[in-house]
Amino acid sequence: MTPRPAPTAPPRRMLAATAALALGLLGAPAAADEPASASDPAPVAIPAPAPAPIPDPAYPPPVVVEEPPPPSPETVPYRPVNVGFLYPMSTNIGAPDVFTHLDIALMLGRIGYLGGLQIGPVGWVGYDMRGAQIGLAHVVEGRAEGLEIDGIFSIAQGDFAGAQVAGLMGWTSGRMTGVALAGMASYVYADVDGVLAGGLVSVARGRVRGLQFAGGTNIGRVDGLQLGIVNVSAEVRGVQIGLINVARRIKGLQVGVLNVTDKLEGESLGLVPIPRRGGVHPVLWGSNSIFANIGVKFASAYAYSILGVGLHNRPLPEGKRQAAFTAGLTLGARVPIAEGFAVAGDLGGNRLFAEGVPLTTHDELYKARVLFSFEIAKRLVPFVGGGVAMAVQGSDTLRFSILPEGTAGIEL
């Protein structure tokens, strides 16, 4: 009988692995009984999980609530005609989202969809309107297409296509396509394609492509015409007309008494045009009609105006001379003809103030000049020129006298 071979001892590495597994299951660390050899795989470091953030009770996370989509006109109750006194005292009691073609209310009408006409002092459409609303105040929470005529206010929460006419205030939260007219204030939160007009104020948060008009103040970006007493715009591409015009950037024409422009790409015509860069210059000049003058020149790209005061020692009929102070305004245009050279033409009027001459008496001097200038430096521009001057004097009977005008000066 062949003897059974003696069992061989397991390898030391197997014993160490078995011990480590047993200790790991018991939660005890395994003792390193022998160093790892070069052939053993490197241990993989498992990062500890990040601690969960502790919510701050003072600033809880926002709760996002998704609003369900509005029902369609096909899924809401249908009434061809809806009549009521003050909702819910109406034929659509319990069904505020009804779709109807004609809604008549003695006080307040409330429906969901309008596909026709809503008449009453106050009307409310919960979703969309296509047709007309006539009364004192109407609100459309969705899109409006057609006509709103109200004695007090008209409000459209969505886009509006058509005409919105309100006695006091018109408001559109979406895009306006058509005409928005209000006796006091018109406000459109998005773009306007058409006309935006308000008796006192018209405001467009978007861009107006067409006409923006107000008897008081206009605020908005305009591609077209902005017309009002005070116009304020971030950008105008077209024409801006008013007593006071303020535009950060204008590409076109600015016409007014006071024009303020940050970046002018066009022309600014006004008694006081003030471009941001290089538009205001002190001017000193003299002439044979008013021998000493000092003024401020407001220059745009080509047009300019000069507000000035002067001192003159004018002759009297008895052969004597009398000192007179003057205040005047000059409007002109300047055209470059060569490097550093320019020619300008202007018209000016001056009022003379002298002792013994009442203000009710005419004592004016009007001038027409042609000037030639050469720019030595950016703030050093001498000029010479000439023209004709006409003096107007008298009260009941006016006396006119014409004399040649010669002038020279320097612009700083």
pLDDT at residue number 216: 92
Question: What is the reported pLDDT for 41?
Answer: 60
**Averaged pLDDT score across all residues of the chain:** 84
Give the span between the Cα atoms of 24 and 359, in whole angstroms. Answer: 112
CB neighbourhood size of 189 (10 A): 15
pLDDT of residue 390 exceeding 70, the answer is yes
Give the E-state strand segments of 174-200 in sequence order: 176-182, 185-188, 192-198
State residue 286 phi and psi, 5-degree precision: -140, 160
Give the percent of the chain with pLDDT over 90: 46
Give 64 or 79, the one with higher predicted confidence: 79
Structural domains in the chain? Answer: 78-212 (no CATH), 279-411 (2.40.160)
pLDDT attached to residue 70: 82
Q: Give the DSSP per-residue string, 278-319.
A: T-EEEEEEEESSSSEEEEEEEE-SSEEEEEEEEEEEEE-TTS
Q: What is the mean pLDDT of residues 129-141?
A: 95
Q: Which percentage of the chain shows pLDDT scores above 70?
A: 84
Q: What is the mean pLDDT of residues 171-178?
A: 94
φ/ψ of 87, rounded to 5, equals -50, 135
| Nearest by Cα to 138 from 109, 158, 113, 177 | 109
**268-314 pLDDT per residue, tens:** 887 887 776 657 889 998 888 888 899 988 887 788 888 899 988 76
Q: Model confidence at 161, in pLDDT bands (50, 70, 90)?
A: very high
Beta-ladder partners of 405: 387
DSSP for 67-103 reads PPPPPPTTTS-EEEEEEEEETTEETTTT-TT-EEEEE
Average pLDDT over residues 121-135: 95
pLDDT at position 241 is 94
Confidence at residue 261, expressed as pLDDT on a 0 to 100 scale: 85
Query: What pLDDT score does 21 carry?
Result: 52
Question: What DSSP character marks residue 22?
Answer: H
The predicted-structure confidence for 10-63, as pLDDT tens digits, reads as follows 555 555 555 555 545 445 554 444 555 555 566 666 776 767 677 666 667 777
Q: Reply yes or no on whether the pLDDT at 72 is more than 60.
A: yes
Higher pLDDT, 47 or 111: 111
pLDDT for 316 equals 65
Q: pLDDT at residue 154 above 50?
A: yes
